[in-house]
């Protein structure tokens, strides 16, 4: 376990940058593809899972390393999101678009796991 305060600051710094990146990409995707389907959240979560899987493959589980704290717990943790996913799925469902809500949930799950596995696999090569 590293220094407590330093660890939290590394996570917070990564989280700030990750959150800003997510906000920028979500806004750009909503602008380019419209708001009918939450493409931004899907894109952010899939790319974040790919990078996290790749880092896991390269560095292994290293929960206390500074790089892991900054890049995975902070940057990628803040970049990806479940809360927006939940709200957007709920909104699709409540506006009567049950199929899209189910599609969004299945797509997030399958794409997320597949991308994390792909990232890990790429790091082995």
What residues make contact with other proteins under the rule CB under 8 A?
Answer: 7-9, 11-20, 22-24, 26-27, 45, 48-49, 51-53, 56, 61, 69, 72-74, 76-87, 89-90, 93, 105, 108-109, 112-113, 115-117, 120
Q: Do 44 and 80 contact (CB within 8 A), yes or no? A: yes
In the bound state with other proteins, the residue whose beta carbon lies nearer, of 18 and 100, is 18
| Cα dihedral 59/64/70/71 (nearest 10) | 20
Helical spans, DSSP H, in the chain = 4-33, 39-59, 66-68, 77-79, 83-94, 98-124
Counting beta carbons within 10 angstroms of the beta carbon of residue 88, is it exposed (0 to 12), middle (13 to 18) or buried (19 or more)? buried
In the bound state with other proteins, the residue whose beta carbon lies nearer, of 36 and 74, is 74
Q: From the CB of 100, what's the least distance to other proteins, in Å?
A: 13
């Amino acid at each position: 376990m590293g220094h407590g305060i330093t660890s939290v600051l590394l996570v917070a710094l990564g989280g700030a940058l990750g959150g800003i990146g997510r906000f920028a990409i979500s806004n750009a995707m909503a602008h380019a593809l419209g708001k009918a389907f939450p493409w931004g959240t899907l894109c952010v979560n899939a790319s974040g899972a790919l990078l996290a899987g790749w880092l896991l493959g390269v560095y292994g589980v290293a929960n206390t390393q500074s790089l892991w704290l900054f890049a995975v717990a902070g940057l990628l943790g803040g970049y990806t999101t479940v809360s927006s996913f939940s709200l957007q799925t709920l909104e699709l469902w409540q506006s009567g678009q049950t199929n899209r809500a189910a599609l969004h949930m299945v797509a997030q799950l399958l794409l997320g796991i597949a991308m994390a596995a792909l990232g890990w696999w790429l790091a082995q090569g």
